[in-house]
Structure 1
Amino acid sequence: MEQGHYDNLMEELSTQAPDLNRNFTRIDRDLFNETVERVTPYIQKKVTFWRKPIEPGLHVAITLCFLATGDSYKSLQYSFRAAHNTISHIVPETCWAIVAAFGDKELQVPQTPEAWQEVTLGFEERWNFPHVIGAIDGKHIRLRNPPKGGTHYFNYKKFYSMVLLAVADASYKFLYVDVGAIGSESDGGVFAETRLAEMLLQEEANLPQPEALPGQPNGFPVAYFLVGNDAFPLRNHLMKPYPKRELSKEERIYNYRLSRARRTVENAFGILANRF
């Protein structure tokens, strides 16, 4: 392991070519070190008489390279001088550790009306669409059909997948994610089974109270809502485009502005896929 990328290439890149080091791991050195520090309590193994455990930094480096390149475990074993069967345990363990260490801080649904208002203000200022608390969409993550998976994971795009459902704010930041649904299920069906959908339906999400739209002080009170595409059902808390073809001018403007606001989650997926 001492002759692998972690002890040699990464050390050299971090001091001589920081940009290349960021391209190699997809994060800069400071964030890499912070990640190692925060996940260590979850993955640190005890030193025993029989073996010296693999250090947490190597766990993180292997996992990031696997996520960034998609290389097989057998390919990574030559780069990091770790057996492929060992890497097969390192990657999922480290992924769960990263979620445990960063999840509550970096990915959190707003808890108060004031916090939701900040999200809404972003959509109003950047995309000219008021009362939006997030853009929602699903992304199909390609995978091999699991044993006895049948057609459960076969999606409408004609490949096997798992669905990543996410809500993003106006600045492409994820507010909520749900991953693990089978690829054959629709985005609307996946959302209906999430905790967020339940909170919105039961009015437990602490959204701001319905009020008139900006510029209409005496107008009808409008609830705050997510924006999605045609795959989602129309609800008080979820708006979608007009589906018909012959639209009025007002309806075309509405569809255009909703599309601009909704694309933030698609852009967030694109940014994520471009890095990992």
Structure 2
Amino acid sequence: MVPVSRRRTLALVLLLEGLQKRGRGRRSRLWVHPFNQQRRQQGDFYHLVAELRLDSQRHHQYFRMSAEQMDELLSLIGPEVTTQRTNYRAAIEPKQRLAVALRYMASGDSLASLAYSYRLGCTTVRNSVHMVCAAIEKIMMERFLPRPTRDTWEEVADGFWKKWNFPNCLGAIDGKHVTIQAPPLTGSQYFNSIVLLALVDSNYRFRVIQVGDFGRTSDGGAYAGSALGRGMETQTLDVPPSASLPGAAHLGDVPHVMVGDAAFPLKPYLMRPYPSLNLTRQKRIFNNRLSRARMVVEDAFGILSSRWRVLHRRINLHPQNVDTLVLAACILHNFLLSPRETVRLLEEAEQQGKKLSPVRNMGGNRASREACNVREIFSTYFNSPQGSVPWQDRTV
């Protein structure tokens, strides 16, 4: 029989050996894989990306932005994606983290594919995407996707009247699915997607977005639970007061409204089309005028997904990180928006025939008399000498 003291000594020796092995295991995981040690000699960042800066067209195709825009972006978020060098490996410089994240968003390539081409660990690539998207949200949100003010709403309304012939309009609203790899044990709540709800101005700029609702949520459900929906209902969003329509003071003051499709409820501040059965000519003209203004949000989604093609893929990130990625994509959309590129991206989206899938329509709603009256006033106005436009008769 082994004495007690001997058993204690043996146990202590085994414990120390185990701790040493664990320590060696931890240190081994910090080593850089021999394949990735060739990063400077073989990695895309030090060769392909450097060459692309000499060719503006290919640089834009690869990153979906110019080298100058990329430099400006780096100047904004660089400090947020800077990490410290350790005793075991050199830190990944912010410019390389940004390149990896933008290429992931622009191409939709897998994280593993980017890890091989950039000679980085897959975890490093994943962390770079997370860091860059989080930095864009933190640093750029207030500047490129700020909370609307009274002046903002008035600017948007002026744009919709001048460009799309729809007065008193606060924006076009719609929801789209972003396909994800649903986490385990989440049942059917995600339906393998999350919902991006957006309000867009006359120039395809996102003014309000919400991302993260489960894929099973309808447009109307996502809107009702959003800060936008609650704020419009409680009148806490600093929306301009009701005003007369241009040249039609005799119709009285009319609320400022958003325009949406049949998936949204009819509210005094949210216009949807008339149901498409047995419509009069006047109602068909209203529907066409509303549809023309509402298509701005469809086009904005087309531009967004044409630039950031990861939105066409099943995104294999945790839903919370997908939310941040989509939000970052919308902020970058506003950051990069320009009239010339808007036309090109719209043409590209049309040629590809790829769009973000719409959120399912869960049916109509019981509208209030006030909401129906507001829609009737708009309908009357669009069919009056003050509100009609030459092209509308050709659309019915």
Query: Which TM-score tier does this pair reach, normalised by the shorter chain?
Result: over 0.9
Give, in angstroms, the shift of residue 165 of structure 1: 0.7
The match for 1:137 is 174
**How far apart in 2 are the matches of 1:123 and 1:272?**
20
AA of the residue aligned to 1:9:
L
Query: How do 1:143-222 residues align onto structure 2 when only pairs under 5 Å count?
Result: 143-154=180-191, 160-222=192-254
Matched to 1:151, the amino acid is S
Match in the other structure for 1:54: 92
Alignment match, 1:157? none
1:184 is matched by which residue type in structure 2?
R
Which residue identity is paired with 1:240? Answer: R
SS at 1:219 equivalent: strand
Q: Determine which of 9, 14, 21 is the counterpart of 2:59.
A: 21
What 5-or-longer segments of structure 2 have no aligned partner? 1-38, 309-396
Residue 243 of structure 1, aligned match among 270, 275, 279:
275
Query: Could you report, residue by residue, the CA deviation over 1:149-204 in whole angstroms, capped at 9, with x for unpaired residues?
Result: 211122xxxxx211111110011111111111111000111111111222211111
Equivalent residue in structure 2 for 1:81, among 105, 119, 122:
119
1:256 counterpart residue number: 288
Task: Letter of the 1:30 partner, please give it.
Answer: E
Partner of 2:145: 107
1:201-243 alpha-carbon deviations (Å, 9 max, x no partner): 1111111110121121232211001111111111111110001
For 1:121, the equivalent position in structure 2 comes to 158
Mapped to 1, the partners of 2:99 and 2:90 lie a distance apart of 18
Task: For residue 255 of structure 1, report the CA deviation from its aligned partner.
Answer: 0.3
The AA in structure 2 aligned to 1:5 is: D
Change in Cα spacing, 1:259 to 1:109, as seen in structure 2 (3 Å) is farther
> Which among 75, 83, 89 is matched to residue 37 of structure 1?
75
**TM-score, structure 2 as length reference:** 0.66
- Give aligned pairs, total: 269
Q: Secondary structure at the match of 1:217?
A: strand
Q: Which structure dedicates a bigger proportion of its chain to helix?
A: 2
Alpha-carbon distance in structure 2 between the residues aligned to 1:203 and 1:84? 47
- By relative contact order (CA 8 Å, sep 6+), the higher-ranking structure is 2
SS at 1:208 equivalent: coil
Structure 2: which amino acid aligns with 1:98? I
Corresponding residue for residue 306 of structure 2? 274
Q: Give the fraction of aligned pairs with identical amino acids, expressed as a percent.
A: 38
The one of 105, 108, 120 aligned to 1:67:
105
What letter corresponds to residue 94 of structure 1 in structure 2? Answer: V
CA distance in structure 2 between the aligned counterparts of 1:39 and 1:212, rounded to whole angstroms: 44
Q: Please, what TM-score do these two structures have when normalized by structure 1?
A: 0.94
In 1, the alpha carbon distance for the partners of 2:147 and 2:297 equals 15
Partners of 1:226 and 1:124 lie apart in 2 by: 13
Structure 1: 5+ residue runs without aligned partners? 155-159
Q: What is the CA-CA distance between 1:139 and the residue it aligns to?
A: 0.9
1-side partners of 2:94 and 2:226: how far apart? 33
Structure 1 range deviating more: 43-52 or 245-254: 43-52
SS at match of 2:287: helix
Residues 240-266 of structure 1 deviation map (CA, whole Å, 9 limit, x = unaligned): 000141111111111001001001000
Deviation at 1:47, TM superposition (A): 2.7
